[in-house]
Amino acid sequence: MADRLEDIASSMMTGGKGILAADESSGTIKKRFDTIGLESTEDSRRDYREMLFRADEAMTKHISGVILYEETLRQSAADGTRLADIIKNAGAVPGIKVDTGAKPLANHPGETITEGLDGLRERLAEYHELGARFAKWRGVISISNDLPTPGAIKANAHALARYAALCQEAGIVPIVEPEVLMDGKPGDHSIERCHEVTEAVLKAVFAELSEARVSLEGMVLKPNMVIDGKSARKASVDEVAEQTVRCLKATVPGSVAGIAFLSGGQSDEEATAHLSAMNAANDLPWPLTFSYGRALQAAALKAWGGRSENVAAGQRAFAHRAQMNGLAARGDWRKDLETAA
Ligand code: 5MM
């Protein structure tokens, strides 16, 4: 595995591949398992993730990196192989979510600050020992007519920059994820409002990254797409793609190693179609790919259903979404390929 930050970052952005976000914290994975009636235990979480990481077709062809929750980085498969080694053997880079979650921000009703900076230097050294070569930190930005406040934007941007600097010091590529929520409350904002807020957030993030002396060539940005709120969706694929690229070009320096989007509550197919439309447009200063959680896993989770006899079905469902998103990362996805498969 490469040692230089720039080399790790560029391997995460390998053409036609993207990142699997499998870093659900205990509370989130429980919610996901509730949808298939499965109890969340250390073993069931291990079995689910082992099913994904051993999906050779998906992993070797379409996945460049996997974001893990700390528990998973320390876990071994049923046969004793470390889950991180299964990922490495598939040619992908293991990564780790290092934030400890978004907590209410004092004096800012309805807004959060992401925590986890205390002791981070020491934790990063240990994660590096355990094989992690990139990390992720998610700042959450609420959006409505009145939110976000400048205070919440600044606090989250500052924390992201401090996290990113510590990662690079430890030889770990930071994924910087400032997420303007698509599916928060009330979730009825327009695409124009999303553009305005995303632009303000990204400007603040890059100003803080610059002050923290973060090397842009050694980091990956994980932004939301510019899209209208989940309860008011009407923007077309072309509109989402055009507004997102315009917003990113206005705020993200060309030296950033790459951009890997979150899916944020879009349907599987929407997330794929939007990424493909952006990549089909020429003239992008950075590689654009996916770092999806729900949009890569939802179908696989359903097909698996928590049953060992369904492992192959879960892996097929994952391979399909990974393949579709791999095509989107090259701008080559078409709707008829979904049904053909
Ligand atoms: C996989 O979910 C990630 C962690 O969530 P919690 O800390 O809330 O448990 C999340 O950060 C994820 O990596 C990104 O939001 C991308 O996932 P989606 O589902 O938005 O593509």
List per-residue pLDDT tens for the chain, 341 residues long: 778 999 999 999 999 999 999 999 999 999 999 999 999 999 999 999 999 999 999 999 999 999 999 999 999 998 999 999 999 999 999 999 999 999 999 999 999 999 999 999 999 999 999 999 999 999 999 999 999 999 999 999 999 999 999 999 999 999 999 999 999 999 999 999 999 999 999 999 999 999 999 999 999 999 999 999 999 999 999 999 999 999 999 999 999 999 999 999 999 999 999 999 999 987 899 999 999 999 999 999 999 999 999 999 999 999 999 999 999 999 999 999 998 66
Question: What are the tokens at 105?
Answer: 């921000």
- The CATH architecture assigned to 5-340 reads Alpha-Beta Barrel (3.20)
Task: Report the C-alpha gap between 287 and 15 in whole angstroms.
Answer: 8
Q: Say if ligand 1 is within 6 A of residue 180 CB.
A: no
Task: List the domain boundaries for the chain.
Answer: 5-340
Q: For tokens 């996901």, what's the residue?
A: 32
Positive or negative, the CA dihedral 29, 179, 19, 134 is: negative
Q: Whose CA is nearest to atom 4 of ligand 1?
A: 24
Q: Say if ligand 1 is within 6 A of residue 271 CB.
A: no
Residue 79, Cβ density class (10 Å: 0-12 exposed, 13-18 middle, ≥19 buried) = exposed
Query: What distance in angstroms lies between residue 179's CA and the mean position of ligand 1's atoms?
Result: 10
Q: Whose CA is nearest to atom 14 of ligand 1?
A: 262
**Spatial CB neighbours of 303, under 8 Å, sequence gap ≥ 6:** 310, 313, 314, 316, 317
Q: Could you give the angle at the alpha carbon of 73 between the alpha carbons of 120 and 155, nearest 5°?
A: 30
Atom nearest to 263 CA in ligand 1: 21
Query: What distance in angstroms lies between residue 261's CA and the mean position of ligand 1's atoms?
Result: 11
Collapsing DSSP states into helix, strand and coil, what is residue 333? coil
Q: Say if ligand 1 is within 6 A of residue 19 CB.
A: no
User: Distances from the Cα of 196 to the Cαs of 5, 203, 254, in angstroms?
Assistant: 32, 11, 21
Q: Say if ligand 1 is within 6 A of residue 138 CB.
A: yes
List, in sequence order, the alpha helices (H) in the chain. Answer: 5-12, 26-34, 42-53, 56-62, 70-73, 83-89, 120-129, 150-169, 191-211, 237-251, 268-280, 294-304, 311-329, 335-340
**What distance lies between CA 326 and its chain's CA centroid?**
15
Q: Which residues are catalytic?
A: 177, 222
Q: Say if ligand 1 is within 6 A of residue 294 CB.
A: yes
Query: What distance in angstroms lies between residue 30's CA and the mean position of ligand 1's atoms?
Result: 13
Instruction: Return the best residue to mutate from 25, 69, 97 for the ligand 1 pocket (most ligand atoms within 8 A of CB).
Output: 97
Task: Report the C-alpha gap between 136 and 10 in whole angstroms.
Answer: 16
Atom nearest to 295 CA in ligand 1: 21
Q: Is residue 281 within 8 Å of 241, Cβ to Cβ?
A: yes
Collapsing DSSP states into helix, strand and coil, what is residue 26? helix
Atom nearest to 23 CA in ligand 1: 1
Q: Say if ligand 1 is within 6 A of residue 223 CB.
A: no
Q: Whose CA is nearest to atom 3 of ligand 1?
A: 24
Backbone φ and ψ of 48, nearest 5°? -60, -50
Task: Report the C-alpha gap between 172 and 135 in whole angstroms.
Answer: 7
- Going by their DSSP bridges, the two strands 102-104 and 112-114 should be labelled as antiparallel
Query: What distance in angstroms lies between residue 263's CA and the mean position of ligand 1's atoms?
Result: 9
Q: Is residue 235 within 8 Å of 228, Cβ to Cβ?
A: yes
